[in-house]
Amino acid sequence: MKIYPLGVGQGFSTKYFHNNYIISISNTNILIDAGTTLRFSLEASPYTYTDIDYIFLTHFHFDHVGGLEELLQRRYWSTTNKQNQKKPQIIIKECQLKQLESLLSPGLCNQNLTLHDYCDIHTLSDEQSSLTIENTIEIKFIDTTNFHCEDMISFALQIYDLNKQQNILFSSDIKKLNNSNLKEQINQETVAIFQDVDLTYNPVHAHLTEVLSYYPDTCRPILYAMHYPDHAPNTFSQYNLSFVQQGIPIMY
């Protein structure tokens, strides 16, 4: 499993790209979120638009979906054989479908084209929590609705490499950790926890002290801070907390 941080920054970061990731398992590339800086972060990475096989969206803030339309546009118009081109698959929950259509339809549903000309949309029912991809990857949706922002649909993800029997936990954006069941997802096969961390107390992101008090000390060796403010790395070092670094892959 290879985790490539396209960006690690908060929505308003001026130093880092948005907190988006490519997870590679058995030659399958999964994009986790597509913020407005995606055009720059992909260019700075070893990946291209056509390398992405699957797209998962944790919620619909601009730093997580603002670059999605451009990704689909660039991929579609970069190929001449439209009939046989391989389209990316967007995997969402049923409760996210209207939001996705509202986001993409104004820019894509014209010139006799529909969303399905640009991508395949796979919708999981609200009762279905996980999906197996290529028989080697399992993605589990963990509902965090209202735990990031009130009245906002959001999800954390747990990503399993079935061949290696490993998994990673990806919090996405969350404030109310104590209301969530993220800790309960951690097991002996969990090799990393990627956790949203802020350094100011606010109503939508967990503060560093809240993160450290939520997870047991036994999780500290596998805990990585992400989605952090521009000045955060110095503070993380003082707390002996690992943090994801933009453009530097993590391998398992």
List the one residue out of 59, 53, 64, 49 whose CA is nearest residue 23.
53
What is the residue-averaged pLDDT of the chain? 97
Q: Give the global pTM.
A: 0.96
The 8-class DSSP code of residue 179 comes to: G
CATH number for region 2-251: 3.60.15.10
Q: Indicate the pLDDT class of residue 191, thresholds 50, 70 and 90.
A: very high
Q: Are 2 and 250 in contact (CB under 8 A)?
A: yes
List the one residue out of 144, 160, 124, 148 whose CA is nearest residue 204.
148
- At 228, phi and psi to the nearest 5? -110, 160
**How far apart, in Å, are the Cα atoms of 102 and each of 60, 99, 115, 151, 169?**
11, 5, 11, 17, 29
Examine the pLDDT at 212 and tell me if it is beyond 90. yes
**86/89 Cα distance (integer angstroms):** 9
Question: Stretch 133-137: mean pLDDT, rounded?
Answer: 96
What pLDDT, on the 0 to 100 scale, is given for residue 83?
72
What pLDDT, on the 0 to 100 scale, is given for residue 222?
98
Which residues sit opposite 86 in a β-bridge? none
Q: Indicate the pLDDT class of residue 79, thresholds 50, 70 and 90.
A: confident
Examine the pLDDT at 85 and tell me if it is beyond 90. no
**200/54 Cα distance (integer angstroms):** 34
**159/139 Cα distance (integer angstroms):** 5
With both helix axes pointing from N to C terminus, report the angle between 97-108 and 68-77 in degrees, rounded to the nearest 10. Answer: 50
Which residues sit opposite 32 in a β-bridge? 21, 56
Where are the domains positioned within the chain?
A: 2-251
Per residue in 43-76, pLDDT (tens digit) is: 999 999 999 999 999 999 999 999 999 999 999 9
**How far apart, in Å, are the Cα atoms of 207 and each of 1, 12, 199, 214, 247?**
29, 17, 5, 11, 24
